[in-house]
């Protein structure tokens, strides 16, 4: 990736490209526990769409945890993918 950007955002740009082009998926999503600020910052930096809070989404260590869902559709990738690649990948 470009200097100072970090590997995580670049990986999150390469992944959707593979998912939409090679695997022909229609949409991808990730769900992040609200208190996980560093992961939320990464998807927000990439402007991945916030679909809201899924209450009691997953059971983790015996506790049902809320998660914020973020998603990207193939149409959004067609519209934004080349710009994301240009910004985050050399």
Coil vs helix vs strand at 54: strand
Task: Return the ∠ at Cα 19 (arms to 48 and 14), rounded to 5°.
Answer: 65
Which DSSP symbol is given to 20?
Answer: I
- 78 — phi, psi (to 5°)? -60, -40
Indicate whether 1 pLDDT > 70.
no
DSSP code, position 18: I
pLDDT in tens, 24-79: 888 989 999 999 999 999 899 888 999 999 999 999 999 999 999 999 999 998 89
Inter-helix orientation angle 37-45/7-17, to 10°: 60
pTM: 0.77
Q: What is the pLDDT of residue 15?
A: 78
Cβ–Cβ under 8 Å, residues 52 and 66: no
């Amino acid at each position: 990736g470009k200097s100072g950007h970090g590997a995580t955002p670049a990986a999150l740009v390469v992944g959707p490209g593979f998912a939409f082009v090679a695997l022909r998926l229609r949409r991808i999503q990730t769900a992040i526990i609200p208190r996980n600020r560093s992961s939320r910052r990464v998807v927000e930096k990439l402007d991945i769409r916030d679909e809201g809070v899924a209450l009691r989404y997953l059971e983790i260590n015996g506790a049902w945890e809320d998660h914020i869902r973020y998603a990207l559709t193939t149409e959004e990738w067609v519209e934004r993918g080349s710009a994301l690649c240009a910004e985050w990948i050399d």
